[in-house]
Amino acid sequence: MAASRYRRFLRLCEEWPVEDTKQRRDLGAFVRQRVAQAFREGENTPISDPEACDQMYESLVRIHTNFYKNKYPRLKDTTFTGVTLEDCRTILATDILKQMGDTKKGTWKRLREKFSAKKPEEDSK
């Protein structure tokens, strides 16, 4: 039985898209990592709680297939602020978040980083 569960999780990982714009924050990459950890021995991995494993798989399938999005369709494709899905994806991209983090720094800190020979991490120690 462990072999069939392992194959189902592998198939799910193959179907799950990886978003390159969300480096180290992508759900697809996280699922792949957790499956690799859970099934270290591949098909021969002993499963201590088969019911919990099947429940986890079914939950991931519902997320992947947009089960609840289809079950409860929205009237509009925007949020209460008027931001569209594509705008949210753009804003949540790793590059944009990094730029926003850089703009939050104070003027003194940016100048110090610019003219300092040491890395900023070394200054804080």
Output the CA torsion 92→15→59→93 (10° steps).
0
The pLDDT tens digits for 13-50 are 999 887 777 777 788 888 999 999 988 888 888 888 88
Mean pLDDT value across the chain = 80
**Amino acid code (one letter) for 102:** D
* Cα–Cα distance for residue pair 62/59, rounded to 1 Å: 5
Looking at residue 60, its pLDDT comes to: 94
Q: Which of 24-28, 33-37, 56-60, 78-82 has the lowest mean pLDDT?
A: 78-82
Ranked by mean pLDDT, which of 2-6, 56-60, 97-101 comes out on top? 56-60
* Structure-token pair, residue 83: 């931001």
Residue 66 has pLDDT above 70, yes or no: yes
* Cα–Cα distance for residue pair 121/7, rounded to 1 Å: 44
Query: Under a CB-based contact definition with an 8 Å cutoff, are residues 25 and 94 in contact?
Result: yes
Looking at residue 96, its pLDDT comes to: 66
- Which pLDDT band holds residue 2 (cuts at 50, 70, 90)? confident
Residue scoring higher pLDDT (79 or 43): 43
In a 10 Å sphere around its CB, with 0-12 CB exposed, 13-18 middle and 19+ buried, how is residue 114 labelled?
exposed
